[in-house]
Amino acid sequence: MIIGIPKERRAFEYRVGLSPAGIEMLTKQGHTCYVERDAGIGAGFQDQDYENAGARIIYSANELIGRSDLLLKVARPLREEIEWLRPGTAVAGFLHLGSARQDKIDLMLEKKITSIAYEQIRLPDGTVPVRQPLSQIGGTLAAQIGASLLQNNAGGKGVLVGGVPGVPPAETVIIGAGTAGTYAARAFCGMHAHITVLDVSLNALQNAFHLCSGIVTMIANPVNIARAASYADILVGAIWIPNEPPPKIISREIIQTMKPRSVVMDICIDEGGCIETSHPTNHEHSTYVEEGVVHYCVPNMSSVVARSSTYAYLAAAFPYIMQIANHGIERTMKENPAVELGVGTHQGDILHISSLPRLLENWE
């Protein structure tokens, strides 16, 4: 199979579709790998690294995409990239087709493109193995970024997350005790914040309770959510529901009760967001102020730790990539139900596309 790794063209996307180690494993299986010049720079991979692994460097995106049987990307392809794909070929990445413009879906269907959305690959137990490491990174980044947003120079209220003797730590409230929420809680624990975690699942709260001493857990009902938000210095929305947009459980009225210059982080904004006042931002202009509260709503949070996130998601995705390369998409779909659930379009038909709101202007 001819496999292409293009340079990502979306603003602030520094990750890459495959590492040199992945190239080496594929070429040893007899596959041909093309890498666009400077595709891995953001993740710290040089062209020479790819060449040493057995890839050929291509200087034209049009040429690379047109040659490829399987295109490995990170973000959803731009329209011109879809136009460059040959009919009947395949593209894999974090495609979020539910928030794509309809004309791009129509073009994929017209060209009979097979689209494989990593975020929709799902195991029988409900876990999403390729999405999971990026949720872990997003949760960890929520603490790292949230701490800086509380600083005065970032528009925050000037609170040190961990406090010091005689000064209490920041009140951190996390809505959702899934992967992202749990990793956010773990990271805030390391900073010695005071943490409240809310979820509808008692089992999830049991797991959060044992992360570190001092975590407060609450059932996520309207009364508890409103009460916790009212005292939060940092409020993190980390809700994820498979193939559905999260509910807007944080209303504008709740935001209005928060203390001025508190911080709200909607880290499920790539699925539509769970906060009524949130809308997508980007890494250049990552925040805005609404109702006196600083909002951070960047869909591709993990792109700014490109090397770590590239290694993390590819560790989970590579077995599926290798299976598709070795056996083809048709056989892989038949033999691996997890991959079949990740296929959005195939042979001119829509198979699995989650119905997410078309909000992500930065990803259009």
| 8 Å CB contact between 99 and 119 | no
Beta carbons within 8 Å of 228's beta carbon, 6+ residues apart: 173, 196, 198, 218, 235
Nearby residues of 253 by Cβ (< 8 Å), 6 or more positions away: none
Which of 270, 295, 346, 352 is the catalytic position? 270
Question: What are residue 204's phi and psi, to 5 degrees?
Answer: -65, -40
* Nearest alpha-carbon partner for 2 in 71, 87, 83, 76: 71
Q: How far apart are CA 338 and CA 226, in angstroms?
A: 38
Give the residue carrying structure tokens 């009524």.
276
DSSP letter string, 147-177: HHHTSGGGTS----TT-BTTBPPPEEEEE--
| 352 noted as active-site residue | no
Beta carbons within 10 angstroms of residue 350's beta carbon: 14
The DSSP string of 190-255 is HTT-EEEEEES-HHHHHHHHTTSTT-EEEE--HHHHHHHHHH-SEEEE---BTTBPPP--B-HHHH
| C-alpha to C-alpha distance for 352 and 116, rounded to whole angstroms | 10
What is the bridge-based pairing of β-strands 349-350 and 343-346? antiparallel
How far is it, in rounded angstroms, from Cα 273 to Cα 250? Answer: 10
Active site residue 270: yes
Buried b (16+ CB within 10 A) or exposed e, 156-194: bbebbbbeeeeeebbbbbbbbbbbbbbbbbbbbbebbbb
From the candidates 96, 295, 346, 352, give the one annotated as an active-site residue: 96
72 class by beta-carbon count within 10 Å (0-12 exposed, 13-18 middle, 19+ buried) = buried
Q: Is 239 left (phi over 0), alpha (psi -120 to 50) or beta?
A: beta
Catalytic residues, by residue number, are 96, 270
